[in-house]
């Protein structure tokens, strides 16, 4: 019942234009993402990931974070590899030491516009991998709890549908790291 309600909230958000071209600004302003549906939809992934067991056979490689000055959200990228014999799905993320809110996002290109929306679940096939990269899937990091600086290492807990987590060690890099500044 609760799960159904949460999913419905996400669908409504994604179809009602939360995904915007200038998403950095939109996401950085409290009115844009302070709404109740948004907060509810992402309450679960912000749970205490410290208690989750570490998944065996699932790894996140080459994680890095493109740092933008607050209140703009920063973005995290990595390669998620599923070396198990079962499908794996990413359903959330948390970096409790450093950020108050993480979200799983996907950037899509429609009618020449770059749009971004939250996603419930990202599947990684058996024996395969999925690259989170600029212009595609990414993690948004919001509400920094300290002054995160270039060169820092951020521990990001990636929450799987199985109730396990994958711990990613992410290097913080400057905003200029990406050639396409306005699109991640």
Give me the residues that bind Cu ion (CB under 5 A), please: 105, 116, 140
Comparing CB distances to Cu ion, the nearer of 22 and 50 is 22
Provide the minimum distance between the beta carbon of 106 and Cu ion in the complex, in angstroms, as a whole number: 8
Any idea what the Cα angle at residue 47 is, between residues 42 and 96, rounded to 5°?
100
In the complex, least distance from residue 14 CB atom to Cu ion, rounded to whole angstroms: 12
For CA atoms 110, 79, 156, 174, the dihedral sign is: negative
| Least separation in angstroms between CB 52 and Cu ion | 23
By beta-carbon distance, which residue lies closest to Cu ion? 105
Q: State in angstroms the smallest separation of the CB of 53 from Cu ion.
A: 28
Cα–Cα dist 178/153, whole Å: 18
How many whole angstroms separate alpha carbon 121 and alpha carbon 123?
A: 6
How many separate helices (H) and strands (E) can be counted in the chain? Answer: 4, 10
Contact 74/92 with Cβ under 8 angstroms? no
Which DSSP state fits 73?
Answer: P
Our CB check for Cu ion shows the closer of 102 and 116 to be 116
Q: Please say which residue, 60 or 140, places its beta carbon nearer to Cu ion.
A: 140
How far apart are the C-alpha atoms of 76 and 172, rounded to whole Å? 9
**Residue 52 or 172 having the CB closest to Cu ion:** 172
Q: Which is nearer to Cu ion, 63 or 140 (CB)?
A: 140
CB of 3 to Cu ion, least distance (A): 23
CA–CA gap between residue 49 and residue 94 (Å, rounded) = 7
């Amino acid at each position: 019942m609760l799960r159904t309600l949460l999913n419905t909230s996400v669908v409504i958000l994604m179809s009602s234009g939360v995904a915007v071209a200038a998403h950095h600004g939109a996401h950085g302003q409290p009115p844009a993402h302070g709404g109740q549906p948004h907060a509810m939809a992402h309450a679960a992934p912000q749970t205490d990931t410290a208690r989750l067991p570490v998944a065996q056979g699932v790894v996140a490689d080459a994680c890095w974070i493109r740092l933008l000055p607050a209140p703009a959200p920063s973005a995290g990228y990595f390669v998620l590899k599923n070396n198990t014999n079962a499908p794996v799905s990413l359903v959330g993320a948390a970096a409790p030491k450093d950020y108050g809110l993480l979200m799983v996002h996907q950037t899509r290109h429609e009618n020449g516009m770059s749009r971004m929306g939250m996603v419930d679940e990202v599947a990684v096939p058996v024996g395969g991998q999925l690259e989170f990269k600029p212009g595609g899937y990414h993690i948004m990091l919001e509400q920094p709890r300290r002054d995160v600086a270039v060169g820092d290492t951020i521990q990001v807990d990636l929450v799987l549908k199985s109730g396990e987590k994958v711990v990613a060690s992410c290097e913080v890099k400057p905003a200029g790291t990406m050639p396409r500044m306005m699109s991640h």
